[in-house]
Every structure is written in structure tokens, then in C-alpha cells.
Amino acid sequence: MQIAKALTAAKVLNPTAYKNAHGLSSRSFSSDPYHWNVNTVVHILERREYTGCTVNFKTYTNSIWDKKQRDNPEENWAIFENTHPEIINPEVFKKVQEIRKQRHRRTRTGKSSMFSGLVYCDDCGAKMRYCTTKYFEKRQDHFVCGKYRSNTGDCTAHFIRAVVLEQLVLNNLQVVISYVTAHENYFRQIMSEKMSLKSSEIIKSAKRKLAQKEKRLTELDHLFIKIYEDNVAAKLSDERFVMMSEQYEDEQAMIFPSCKPKLQSRSGRMKIWSCSLKRQKSTMD
Ligand SMILES: [Zn+2]
């Protein structure tokens, strides 16, 4: 919101106006070339491709008959690093995402809490809003569930005073620090066990993803052979064979981009074999 306002005030051309000014076609229309929409800024800030990578499988369709594009969860994305020059440093990009996750809401009074954006409702999981007015004393500032709206929202009036929260966090920190001081070795051991457990979970999940990809590659190999045999047996036209084999190739290349040169030469060979076999067959007939 603040970036969008600053860009609008600085009279920076928005993407639609910039495209129009440079003779590029644009699907959207903008009546004010300097008006920046909040969503446009969010889209730019969250676009991972600007760090020089290619992101595939951001959306998916259920089948070839159901064309509706659905958003794929981020863990299912396939990210290929360094496929083109970066325009945003990956470290800066990472930092921006962290800041966006924990951003503090500005209150009209200019007052803020160190816990703004970090407190979640235990009941519904929504973020809790920091509430204050210029007439409030410090002890009256509080957090309330973001989904609660005077009996019309999705949650009830879960509420905690900011001073109570600060005291609870302080007490907890004191307990943890005194525990660590008294049992330093034991604490180190527990922490290192936790960290190794986490890294083994990451490895397990990476292995699972790799196995899924390999399974799909094998399936695609079988499909290749099947359409090749159908083509030789004249059950599948040449055009259809070329079209389908190209589709399989594209999918394989998306799963493992490094496979592409190998795949191209293999499918190229298959296409040549298929044509020459059919030529031989027709000569024999
Ligand atoms: Zn709630």
C-alpha cells in the first residue's frame, strides 16, 4: 500500500502505461498512467522469476477435458535456478518475503507494538489485530482476533492486552535463559537433535519428490513406446504421433530440464525409425 502510494505520488508509469508507451500490447487498460494498484506491487514483490529462475507448475488442470487452471501449492512448484539473468538479488528477494510475512500494521496514531503481525488466534489461526487509540493509556492497548467483528465475524472476541503479552513473553524468556544457563550441555544436545531431525525430514521430502518425478518419467517412457508402436502399426497418424511425442518431451523436459538434449535426440531417432519402418512396410506391401 505504501509503495503503491509512493509510486503514484512520484508519477512513475504503471506497467500497462509503460507497455503502451513502448509500443507493446497490453491486455489491461489503465485510465490513469500513474495510478499504481496495490495488487500490481504485490505481484512484482512476489514474482520469483525476477531472481533469474524459471518456475513451472504454478497452476494445474485436473485433466485434458477440464481446462480450469487451479493454483498449485508452492511445495509442488518446480523451480529451475539460473535460467536467465536476475534483476533482483535472491538474498534481497528472500528478505522481502520475510518482511512481508511479518509486516507491522501501521496504526493511525503512529503507535505500534513489537508483536504486531506476530500474534495468532489460538482458536481460528487468524492474525490478531493490534488495537490502540490516541486516548488509550499503554495498559489499554490490546490484540483482538482478526476474524472477530462485533458478533458478525467468523470468530469470537479473543483478546489479550499488549502489556500482558509483553509480560508473558518476558517471563518465558527468563525461564528459557535460566534453564539454558543451568543445563547448557543438555540444551545443546536437544537443539542439535532437533536440527538434525529437521534436516533429515527435508532430505526425506526431497527424496519423495524425486521418486515421484522418476515414476512419471518412467510412465512417459512407456507412453512413448506405446505411441511409437501404434504409429508403426498405422493405428496412429504421423501428425498425431509427432504432436503427442512432443507433448511428452515437453513434460519430461519440465520434470528434468537437463534431460532435454537426450530426450530430443531419442525422440528424434524414434520419429526417424518410425517413418523409415513405415516406408519399408509400404515397399514390402
Ligand atoms: Zn479467532
Query: Are the CB atoms for 278 and 232 separated by under 8 Å?
Result: yes
Q: Which residues contact 275 (CB under 8 A, 6 or more apart)?
A: 238
Partner residues linked to 131 by β-bridges: 142
Ligand 1 centre to CA of 143 (Å) is 11
Question: pLDDT tens across 167-192, in order?
Answer: 999 999 999 899 888 998 898 898 88
Query: Are the CB atoms for 255 and 217 separated by under 8 Å?
Result: yes
Q: What is the pTM of this model?
A: 0.41
- The pLDDT, as a whole number, for residue 3 is 85
The domain total for the chain is 3
Of the residues 74, 101, 128, the one at which a domain ends: 101
Ligand 1 centre to CA of 40 (Å) is 30
Say if 193 falls within a structural domain.
Answer: no
Ligand 1 centre to CA of 179 (Å) is 32
* Shared domain check, 96 and 8: yes
Beta strands 78-80 and 142-145, pairing class? unpaired
Ligand 1 centre to CA of 169 (Å) is 20
Q: What are phi and psi of 86, to 5 degrees?
A: -80, 150
Say if 194 falls within a structural domain.
Answer: no
Of the residues 51, 74, 101, the one at which a domain ends: 101
Question: pLDDT tens across 47-81, in order?
Answer: 888 998 888 888 877 766 777 778 887 777 888 88
Ligand 1 centre to CA of 156 (Å) is 6
Residue ranges with CB less than 5 Å from ion ligand 1: 121, 123-124, 145, 147, 155
* Shared domain check, 147 and 165: yes
Say if 188 falls within a structural domain.
Answer: no
Say if 191 falls within a structural domain.
Answer: no
Say if 216 falls within a structural domain.
Answer: yes
Ligand 1 centre to CA of 160 (Å) is 12
Question: Per-residue b/e over 153-188, b at no fewer than 16 CB within 10 Å?
Answer: eebeebebebeebeeeeeeeeeeeeeeeeeeeeeee
In angstroms, the CA 112 to CA 228 distance is: 67
**Domain residue limits at 163:** 106-182
| 268 pLDDT higher than 60 | no
